[in-house]
Structure 1
């Protein structure tokens, strides 16, 4: 019997049952990629997003598309991953884009800027606004395409060896603070230090720095900051909703089949949601444990917040005047932020304010 006649007569179910079509069903090629992370494996939630992503890619491809994940420093320095992707040393990375504001301040808009969007608003700007379109135009210059890869939600304001009672206490303070926010801290009189997560504890313990921020209770507890700096402040005004990214080498991505490209997109979205769900579920328990162990919680003084806001807006105006790429993306970002803040003021804030006043 000729194969064409058999397929026509048997129908799809018969073909599959007879084992004739595996070559069609499993036509995709085997692909092996490496992912370089900016984070240590000890931080299971933020590094773990890379593992969640890679596992889902493997599952959806029937094991034919495998991605190995590598902690910061394993293949390249934590802050060298963008160069690694751009140069094709690795096919992709998982990082916080604002680490690379030194290359161009526009990187920060793909992650978080002081007094920016919260996590839900950031996802809305990316997926339904112009965020993905604008950032992909920008990342194209670095031979990369981005996919949202997680969000921590609003972060805490960090750990301080001494109490911050007014804006005057910020002057001269050496603080580990992530990427772009250091520009604002500097304008406030502080001394920013950009230190990878795995090196913060030692710097804080030795007094090399006076303060440090990372993410929030769950990660901060793992890193042990409470043992060397008892004063824990909130909110992290510089990170209302920091988004992590999967950055993929453009040539490597374009070489994928349409099916594998779709798998990448879906796996990234899954990891994006999964990360924040984990932080939202784990932070409350960790915060209770930290307070029970002696951590002292403080809200930032009003004058600190007001000075930080003033300096942030001043910085953005200056950048818009001298960096055309920043200006193009920030104008759209700022318009979206204004609309979102107005909306959240009513429904979200109204509901949250009431619920937080109740005895539950």
Structure 2
């Protein structure tokens, strides 16, 4: 009953947008194609930089395709965007899997990826994600538009080992379990309220993707960033199945190939941004708290072993049977990987040295 009511309410909310003509359009005379796109992030948010890199390359490689960017949260709430793409309100959307884990619990697995986006494309993981999205949402999974920036714990006080006891930390759905396992108290706060909460000592710190805290000025209200970091922050580029099926094969090929060609640049871009932003924090007086080797190993085990085992596997596999293939693909040992990168390849420590190496 509640599910039916929710769908009816969503349909009512979507009608004005559907009437406005937000759908794939093709000009039969010259083959021009227009694809509408909405984002889970504000237009100027750093998490849109990757998708705009894709759009710019698409203009060169497939000039008959126009991506019509409709906006971010001002056109649809981020937690409803997946349903907007599934319903065809927008042809395409960019958003993290964390935004729709309620609809697709298998998206909990994305942050554990031991692969770069390029490796996921080569080893068949992209096809598994596509199967999951098609079966549960009627959506085509095209690939990653954000990757290469891990989660980081920012704190007012120095973090001594793995114990956050007595501290409360703003978390996301991706990091709340990790803070709990480190004996901290997770706090659910909108991003726009984090600066004030830190300034007023309402929370002791915050977890965030490695790119983004500076846009909120958080380096002015925290004193430490923890290394090693953990979990990949990724966002997916998705397309409504019906809109996808209406495209000619040339256009479908252009979209998939152009994203595949752009992913290495997107990944490198966010790696660079991670290093640059961390340096910005340190220039502002934030100090890196680097755990010793024993604690570093323990932290990564908390994240990638305990966190993996704590997932609701019964629910994940029941709702997404293909997640069994994803679980098998991601079952890669941590041993021998070191602590300078998360399994997916993003930098997690020694950022100053890495910055020097990249110059």
Structure 1-normalised TM-score?
Answer: 0.74
Instruction: Work out the CA distance in 1 between the residues paired with 2:124 and 2:38.
Output: 27
Distance 1:251 1:197, change over 3 A: farther
> 1:79 corresponds to which residue?
79
Say if 1:55 and 1:133 are closer, same or farther in 2 by CA, change over 3 A. Answer: same
* Aligned CA distance change for structure 1 residues 222 and 161 (closer, same or farther; 3 Å): same
Report if the CA contact (8 A) 2:82-2:93 is conserved.
yes
Unaligned runs of 5+ in 2: 1-27
CA contact (8 A) 2:151 2:231 kept: no
1:231 to 220, 224, 229: 224
Tell me, in whole angstroms, the C-alpha distance in 2 between the residues paired with 1:227 and 1:74.
28
In the alignment, structure 1 residue 158 sits paired with structure 2 residue 150: no
Which of 329, 337, 346 is the aligned partner of 1:333? 329
Check conservation: 2:178, 2:302, Cα contact below 8 A: no
Instruction: Give, in whole Å, the separation in 2 of the partners of 1:88 and 1:213.
Output: 33
Cα 1:97–1:36 shift into 2, 3 Å:
same
Q: Does 1:272 align with 2:273?
A: no
- Alignment partner of 1:262 out of 244, 253, 258: 253
Matching of residue 214 in structure 1 with residue 214 in structure 2: no
Shift of 1:75: 1.1
Equivalence for 1:49: 50
Gaps of 5+ in 1: 1-25
Rounded Cα–Cα distance in structure 1 between residues aligned with 2:122 and 2:336: 16
Structure with the larger helix share: 1
Tell which deviates more after alignment, 308-317 or 70-79: 308-317
Say whether residues 1:98 and 2:107 are aligned partners. no
Aligned residue number for residue 173 of structure 2: 179
1:56-91 deviations in Å (ceiling 9; x for gaps): 3333332x3211224431211223221211121111
Q: In structure 1, what is the equivalent of residue 298 of structure 2? A: 306
Q: CA deviation at 1:94?
A: 0.9
**Farther-moved stretch of structure 1 (82-91 vs 197-206):** 197-206
Deviates more, 1:315-324 or 1:144-153: 315-324
Equivalence for 1:317: 309
Cα displacement (A) at 1:100: 2.5
Q: 1:248, 1:207 → 2: CA distance?
A: 42
Deviation at 1:172, TM superposition (A): 5.5
SS of aligned partner of 2:281: helix
Largest Rg, 1 or 2: 1
TM-score (norm 2): 0.74
The structure with more strand, counted as a fraction of residues: 2
How far 1:208 moved relative to its partner?
Answer: 4.3
Take 1:244 and 1:285, find their aligned partners in 2: how far apart are those partners?
20
- Residue 111 of structure 2 corresponds to 112
Q: In structure 2, what is the equivalent of residue 8 of structure 1?
A: none
Q: Is the 8 A contact 1:155 1:235 kept in 2?
A: no
